[in-house]
A and B are shown apart, each in its own frame.
Chain A
Amino acid sequence: MQKPPVDYIKRITDNYAALGYKTYQWVHNEDTPPWTPLTKPLSECRLGLIASGGIYVTGQVAFHTKDDFSFRSIPKDVTTSDLRTAHFAYDQTDARRDPNVVFPIDTLRRLEAEGVIGELADHAFTFMGGIYSTRKVREALAPQLTEQLKAERVDVALLVPV
Chain B
Amino acid sequence: MCHQSVGLIARHAEAAGIPTLCMGSALDILQAVYPPRAAFLDYLLGHTTGKPFEPELQRAILLEALEAFSALTQPGQIKRLPFRWAEDDDWKDGVMNDGDTRTPRQDTPQYQTEADRVLAEQNNPEACEVCAVSA
Contact = CB atoms under 8 A, between A and B. Distances in A.
Interface of A: 1-3, 5-12, 15-16, 19, 21, 26-38, 41-42, 48, 50, 52-54, 56, 58-67, 84-98, 100-104, 106-108, 110-111, 116-117, 127, 129-132, 134, 137-138, 141-143, 145-146, 149-150, 154-162
Contacts of B55: 100, 106-107, 110
Contacts, number: 298
- Chain A contact residues, majority secondary structure: loop
Contacts of A87: 110
Interface of B: 1-24, 26-29, 32-36, 40, 42, 45-53, 55, 58-59, 62-63, 65-66, 69-70, 75-76, 88-90, 92-93, 95-97, 99-113, 115-117, 119-120, 123-124, 127
Contact of B100 (A15, A50, A103): A15
A65 B51 contact: no
Given A15-B99, A65-B103, A161 B113 contact: no
Contact of B35 (A15, A33, A60, A154): A33
A59 B120 contact: yes
A102 B5 CA distance: 15
Given A5-B27, A65-B106, A157 B47 contact: no
Given A1-B89, A34-B36, A100-B52, 4 more contacts: A6-B96, A30-B34, A61-B124, A130-B105
